[in-house]
Amino acid sequence: MSKAGLAQFQQVFIEESLEGLDTMESSLLALDDGGDGELVHTIFRAAHSIKGGAATFGFPEMSSFTHEAESLLDEVRSGKRAIDGSIIELLLRTVDCLRGMFARAQAGEPLNDAVAEGLRNELAAAMGRGIPAGGVQARRAEDQADAWTVRFRPHPGMLASGNDPLRLIRELAGLGELRATPEFDRLPATLAGLEPSECHLGWTITLRGPVKRADIAAVFDWVEDECDLAIEAQHVVAKPAEAPIATAPVAAAANVADAGAARAQREAGAESSSVRVSIDKIDGLINLVGELVITQSMLDTFRGEYDATRVAMLEQGLAQLARHTRELQETVMGIRMLPIASVFNRFPRMVRDISQKLGKQVKLELVGEQTELDKTVLEKIGDPMVHLVRNAIDHGLETPDKRRAAGKSDLGTLKLEASHRGGNIVVEVSDDGAGLNRDAIVAKAVQRGLIASGEGLSDEAVADLIFQPGFSTAAVTTDLSGRGVGMDVVRRNVADLGGTVTIRSTQGKGSAFTITLPLTLAIIDGLTAAVGGERYIVPLVSIVESVQLKPEAVRSVAGGELFRFRGEYLPVIRLHDAFGCDNAIRAIDQGLMVVVEGDGSRVGLFVDGLIGQQQAVVKSLEANYRRVQGVSGATILADGSVALIVDIAGLVRLQGRRKAA
Amino acid sequence: MPATADKHSEDATGRGESRSMGKATAQGKGESEARVIALPPDFRLAELAAVKAELLEALEAPAVNIDGAAVERVDTAALQLLVAFRRESTARGQSPAWHGVSTVMRDAASLLGLAQVLELPAPMPA
Amino acid sequence: MAKILAVDDSASMRGMVAFTLRGAGHDVSEAENGQLALDQARGSRYDLVLADVNMPVMDGLSMVRELRTMPEYKGVPILMLTTESHTDKKMEGKAAGATGWLVKPFDPEQLLATVKRVLG
């Protein structure tokens, strides 16, 4: 079989190993919190699987490395060694190191680095011994002879273990010219007295040919405890002891294959492009397709005969078709849906590390880990969440003495909560820390020139300032939050996923950041807006309100038009101008102003009118045409015509640039 | 589970008509016709309890023939059972004859050095 | 061609085993733990079972013990896929009723050679 055939499993191996590492990490952390012994088994199993697969799939370095960790775990598991903080620490670093190795494997880089080497030594030292010798094994000299006598008496139980003497003797026959003489002395005298599953025969076997003793012994390697065996040479030919044999060529070949697979992986793109689907989901799909086929054949019977008496049946068929289509859609979407647990799981470790570094005591609560969301969304939500969590520990939660002074317990609470709300996923990162400091934010915003003064600004508006580009509330830039990314990046990342971020904060009580995301990127809920002869889809999630304005409500200013909405002046974007539509309504009082929010600011979209709400299946313009500014995709309407989906954040940025120009 | 099988393979001796699968059928005890034990295609450990029961019953018959033409898979345990049967059967004066022996069975018996004690007939020319 | 059941909680390992054996013309079923393997074994007669040792829900050793209590699995070869090269682990498998073992890591050629060996 070709090595190329194996490459497909190499990727699966990497994916499941990364999951295994997550499991190891969370179990180690739970163990650190006084978890039970079952966790040790879980950890051991994960390490064991990685070790076993690593060598098979061409990562021998990883295998030998994991072997050390596994040996350590084995001692813990068997009670030979008590687990303590230092071992957990060591194993946690091992997890990190392995993650690094997998990353390098995917990038096609050499797996071992100084960290791995150092850690391997530490693990070996923890086991109380030096680095084990490499893959070089000494072999003892092998006897060779031209003829052998093998006395083989299976124990009665050998047959039941699946070891058939027939197979063994046939194998021996492959080595040379064989003659077996059976012995019946143990066979019961009567048929009735014979238990068929027990072996009562024995053999004396002569084997002729230049055969090594080791080759004969190898035939019996599985049964050495299940038989009496004597291997005697008839003519011994002494051979000098052979030099130790190294297994280097095998390892080298594996490395070549592994580099090829890693290259293929790089070409496949950074994010993993496969989804593991449970059999249940697939069975559900097969079921539905079956139903569809039945409905289709039922509808087929109407072909050409639209008899009025059968209208009811036709209607029933169509209703069935609609239901199955909807279910099929939901199920197919469900395949891309994965629990958010895989993202949540990286936080216990991170929270532990950061809080230790900052001398804060933090209890992490995870709620709704089984909430499922689209794989694409899942892969992209991690970074914004990491930022929010870092931020919460760094800026939100106080040190124990400050908390005590404020009358709170030493232990701060950080809560990650995911839930489904309507057609959206809501992920909330909340803490019971100090909350946002209005004065500090205003002062900083003034200093940065974002605002002239805080006067007249609502708390909401002030809180919103932290999402402005270039804003940082930390008095000192720490290495935790201050990596040149601010909350503006969080908001933009979330906006790219079609979502929004909002803050609730009470000074002294804590803050909550709420990320609202669409369940999937493949289907959006939108309002269909008419502009001239065209129709556009405005994502429902961005819509605040739609209002009909009097002409005098809109003022022309340099660079555009503004209108007053709830005490704020919002810029107007006329969709017919933005997209160049002819025959559109231009008079303000005859059209409709749709107030939308995107990229952190609100604007009014001026359209002819709204036609209705609908679900739109997003078709990529980039994939089918090219990227168009202000448009996030296209969809096909019920009548077969194409409507473009408005990219609110993109339009707002476009508007900003025009204004600046 | 009785050792039944519907799969017929050509009888090596060309006498497929007398082969009965599963339950050994007594074919006219008084008419000097021997009882025929048909060995199952899968003649291995898991099937032996059933075959053993048949063989025990056959020990009581005046004469027994064994048909191994259908045997596709065989193991040491199966051949050991036949050896034990043959020993007792001969001791009772039955001198059981072979109706057919598949190649698989013949090869296995030869390897284990049991062809002689089982008195397997010489292979038929193809 | 033989009917083979491959039992391993690791999808990659299971996949590799199944892929390799199918390539050699065998009819391979897969199960991801001992319990599921037993369910499958009950409904169907396999010529060979290949099982990992460490698995969640039901490990390989318990699975072998269970299989050996089923009359139709008396004498059916069961190979443990094990990373343990220590003798005591192999013996544990043997004591449970396994036929033999295949030490991980193994490559497809080794797997095929071992399967060929055990199926005769």
How far apart CA A578 and CA A589 sit, in angstroms, is 19
Which pLDDT score, from 0 to 100, does residue A413 have? Answer: 93
Which residue of B lies nearest to C2 if distances are taken between CA atoms? Answer: B73
Written in H, E and C, the secondary structure of A297-328 is HHHHCCCCCCCHHHHHHHHHHHHHHHHHHHHH
- A222 touching chain C per CB within 8 A: yes
CATH number of A523-660: 2.40.50.180
Which of the residue ranges A172-181, A229-238, A557-566, B23-32 would you say has the lowest mean pLDDT? B23-32
CATH superfamily ID and name for A3-126: HPT domain (1.20.120.160)
Q: Which fold has domain A144-237?
A: Alpha-Beta Plaits (3.30.70)
- A629 touching chain C per CB within 8 A: no
Give the closest-approach CA distance of B74 to chain A in angstroms.
9
For residue A593, the cross-strand partners are A547, A606
CATH of the domain at C70: 3.40.50.2300
Q: Do residues A357 and A311 touch, judged by C-beta distance below 8 A?
A: no
Q: Is B44 helix (H, G, I), strand (E, B) or coil?
A: coil
Q: What is the pLDDT of residues C87-120, one digit of tens each?
A: 666 778 888 889 988 888 788 888 888 998 888 7
Is the pLDDT at A244 greater than 80? The verdict is no
Give the closest-approach CA distance of C72 to chain B in angstroms.
5
Q: Which of C16, B85, B8, B54 is nearest to A49 (CA)?
A: C16
Using alpha carbons, list the distances in angstroms from residue C66 to C31, C61, C73.
15, 9, 10
Chain B residues in contact with A182 (beta carbon < 8 A): 112-114, 117
How far apart CA A13 and CA A475 sit, in angstroms, is 45
Q: What is the pLDDT confidence band of residue B7, given thresholds at 50, 70 and 90?
A: very low
Phi-psi region of A435 (alpha: psi -120 to 50; beta: other; left: phi over 0): left
Question: Contact A49/C9, CB-based, under 8 Å?
Answer: yes
Which residue of A lies nearest to C59 if distances are taken between CA atoms? Answer: A45
Which pLDDT score, from 0 to 100, does residue A134 have? Answer: 36
Is the pLDDT at A319 greater than 80? The verdict is yes
Pairing of strands A362-367, A412-421: parallel
Is the pLDDT at A307 greater than 80? The verdict is no
Give the closest-approach CA distance of A115 to chain B in angstroms.
55
Walk me through the domains of chain B, giving residue ranges and CATH numbers.
Answer: 36-126 (3.30.750.24)
A-B Cβ pairs (cutoff 8 Å, strict): 78
Which pLDDT score, from 0 to 100, does residue A609 have? Answer: 92
How far apart CA B71 and CA B63 sit, in angstroms, is 22
Which pLDDT score, from 0 to 100, does residue B16 have? Answer: 39
Question: Contact B76/A164, CB-based, under 8 Å?
Answer: yes
The listed range with the strongest mean pLDDT (A36-45, B3-12, B55-64) is B55-64
Which pLDDT score, from 0 to 100, does residue A349 have? Answer: 84
Q: Is B94 helix (H, G, I), strand (E, B) or coil?
A: coil
Domain that holds residue C15: 3-119
DSSP sequence for A42-78: HHHHHHHHHHHHHHHTT-HHHHHHHHHHHHHHHHHHT
What residue type is assigned to position A69 of the chain? A
Using alpha carbons, list the distances in angstroms from residue C82 to A247, C18, C85, C111.
20, 16, 8, 12
Tell me which of B45, B51, B73 to substitute to probe the interface with C (most C C-beta atoms closer than 10 Å): B45
Chain A residues in contact with C118 (beta carbon < 8 A): 162, 167
ipTM score assigned to the predicted complex:
0.87
Question: Contact C74/B46, CB-based, under 8 Å?
Answer: yes
The listed range with the strongest mean pLDDT (A147-161, A329-343, A629-643) is A147-161
The total number of structural domains in chain C stands at: 1
Mean pLDDT of chain B: 76
Q: What is the pLDDT of residues B17-31, one digit of tens each?
A: 444 444 444 444 444
Q: List helix spans (H) across A557-661.
A: 575-579, 621-624, 648-660
Which residues have C-beta within 8 Å of that of residue B57, sequence separation ≥ 6? B24
Question: Contact C73/B46, CB-based, under 8 Å?
Answer: yes
Pairing of strands C48-52, C78-82: parallel
- C42 touching chain B per CB within 8 A: no
How far apart CA C55 and CA C53 sit, in angstroms, is 6
Q: List helix spans (H) across A78-212.
A: 85-107, 114-126, 165-173
Q: What is the pLDDT of residues A580-627, one digit of tens each?
A: 888 889 898 999 999 998 766 789 999 999 988 887 878 777 777 777
Which residues have C-beta within 8 Å of that of residue B110, sequence separation ≥ 6? none
Which pLDDT score, from 0 to 100, does residue B112 have? Answer: 93
How far apart CA A22 and CA A43 sit, in angstroms, is 10
Chain B residues in contact with A191 (beta carbon < 8 A): 52, 55-56, 59, 81, 84-85, 87-88
Which pLDDT score, from 0 to 100, does residue C84 have? Answer: 62
Indicate yes or no: pTM above 0.80. no
Higher pLDDT, A430 or A661: A430
Give the closest-approach CA distance of A368 to chain B in angstroms.
50
Written in H, E and C, the secondary structure of A421-471 is ECCEEEEEEEECCCCCCHHHHHHHHHHCCCCCCCCCCCHHHHHHHCCCCCC
Q: What is the pLDDT confidence band of residue C66, given thresholds at 50, 70 and 90?
A: very high
Q: What is the pLDDT of residues A402-412, one digit of tens each?
A: 999 989 998 99
Q: What is the pLDDT of residues A342-369, one digit of tens each?
A: 888 888 888 888 888 888 999 999 998 8
Q: What is the pLDDT of residues C21-55, one digit of tens each?
A: 998 889 999 999 999 999 999 878 899 999 988 88
Which pLDDT score, from 0 to 100, does residue A391 have? Answer: 86
Which pLDDT score, from 0 to 100, does residue B108 have? Answer: 93
Give the closest-approach CA distance of C116 to chain B in angstroms.
15
Mean pLDDT of chain A: 80
Calculate mean pLDDT across residues B82-108.
Answer: 88
Extents of the domains making up chain A:
3-126, 144-237, 279-335, 339-518, 523-660
Q: Which fold has domain A339-518?
A: Heat Shock Protein 90 (3.30.565)
Which residue of B lies nearest to A157 if distances are taken between CA atoms? Answer: B77
Which residue of A lies nearest to C20 if distances are taken between CA atoms? Answer: A1
